[in-house]
Amino acid sequence: MMYNTAMAQNKVNTVSIHASEFVSPESRLYYLDGDDLYWREKAVKTFVAQVPEEWRDFNLKRLPSNWNAEMLEEAVSAVSPIPGIPVAVVAGGIAVSAPKKKSVKGKESKVESSGADSGRWGRITAESDVSVLICEGSIPASAKKSFVAIDCSKPPVSVLSALAKECVKPASIDFRAANLLIQYTDGNAMSICTEAKKLSDYVGVGGEITVNDVEALVGDNTEHGIYELSNALADRDKPRAEELKDRFIAKGMEYTQLFRLLINQYRKLLHAALSPMSDAELASAMGIKEIAVSINRRTARKYSKANLKSVLDLLVNAEFDYRRGVCSDETAFSTAFAAILTI
């Protein structure tokens, strides 16, 4: 998907625009798509801003998470008490809720009311002066085509880099430092803003944030996650290891990337286990922090040296299998992942 001021078609064939480009409502019907809380909050604030603050008690309608078509239709039928002041409806909460399983009885009820709901959605999407933003909840496919999707997923690095530069003001940030900040925060916009404020306060007004500043003040979320994952594997804690693996995948990491990270981590574990150097000496030789060596040695002690080598060989061979087409990257990783838990 291209992120620019021109709207694009999304995967369900509705018009889509990224939240970073949503600067003012140009259409009437919108829904949020994606789970990045920063971009979801930004989209809602932009949508709500069309109603002057002094009139929001009258002209801004907020529906709860359990809203239905009847409630939405009633809200859309509202008339502004003040000529020229727009009416806007926000349906559902900003945060993404976990999907709820529906009972068979609930499904039957939905089928029975589908005809009435179809009529309501027709009236909701019909010409009106009332704007609608659906933050959560279902929209029928027939009605969804009338909505513009506001994409609240993780945007390209260029967008995140611009966000970092904006958030550090009145300081500035070197482009290499901005890229490292994005890497360390795994592209999470909320974390970028939080860490950017910390960095800005550190260098002061007019100061420039460098790579050294980011390395010193910002924790590497990805590196920390890999430490946690290798530790859970070493503990043979399958539920925790599965949770951490799924968290990486949910953030958009490919199995090929996860292979590389784990292979590099187990090489560090093996090196830490075999080296006679002190933590400080090994940290200097490997170009990493001393605390990282200390953590790696604690994890490495949960294996014998032979088993550490076996895990590393297992990962390297599994990666080679998918690269030569024996199986998919997901199958190769899942098979190796299960095997590591038994070593």
Least confident window among 115-119, 147-151, 276-280: 115-119
CA distances in angstroms from 47 to 11, 25, 124, 186, listed in the order given: 23, 6, 18, 27
Task: Please state the φ and ψ torsions of residue 208, each to the nearest 5 degrees.
Answer: -115, 130
What confidence score (pLDDT) does residue 220 get?
Answer: 67
pLDDT digits (tens, 9 = 90+) for 33-67: 988 889 999 999 999 999 999 999 999 999 999 99
151, 179, 198 — which closes off a domain? 151
In a domain, residue 144? The reply is: yes
In a domain, residue 2? The reply is: no
What confidence score (pLDDT) does residue 78 get?
Answer: 81
Q: Is pLDDT at 104 greater than 50 in this prediction?
A: no
In a domain, residue 41? The reply is: yes
**Same domain assignment for residues 196 and 245:** no
pLDDT averaged over every residue in the chain: 86
CA distances in angstroms from 179 to 154, 164, 170, 325, listed in the order given: 15, 9, 19, 33
* Range 307-319 average pLDDT: 93
Q: How confident is the model at residue 191 (pLDDT cuts 50, 70, 90)?
A: confident
* Range 9-35 average pLDDT: 84
**Same domain assignment for residues 140 and 162:** no
Q: Please tell me the total count of domains within the chain.
A: 3
**Same domain assignment for residues 87 and 53:** yes
In a domain, residue 3? The reply is: no
**Same domain assignment for residues 117 and 181:** no
Least confident window among 70-74, 89-93, 225-229, 264-268: 225-229
Q: What is the CATH number of the domain that holds 324?
A: 1.20.272.10
Q: How confident is the model at residue 107 (pLDDT cuts 50, 70, 90)?
A: very low
Domain that holds residue 284: 221-340
**Same domain assignment for residues 328 and 296:** yes
**Same domain assignment for residues 22 and 84:** yes
* Range 192-214 average pLDDT: 92
**Same domain assignment for residues 145 and 51:** yes
Q: What is the pTM for the complete model shown?
A: 0.62
Q: Which residue has the tokens 């945007």?
A: 155
In a domain, residue 131? The reply is: yes
**Same domain assignment for residues 71 and 175:** no
Rounded to a whole number of angstroms, the CA Rg of the chain reads 25
In a domain, residue 236? The reply is: yes
Strand order in the sheet with 8-9: 8-9, 15-18, 148-151, 29-33, 130-134, 87-91, 60-63
Q: What is the CATH number of the domain that holds 162?
A: 1.10.8.60
What confidence score (pLDDT) does residue 81 get?
Answer: 77
Q: How confident is the model at residue 97 (pLDDT cuts 50, 70, 90)?
A: low
* Range 112-141 average pLDDT: 85
What confidence score (pLDDT) does residue 114 get?
Answer: 58
**By percentage, how much of the chain surpasses pLDDT 90?**
56
Q: What is the CATH number of the domain that holds 59?
A: 3.40.50
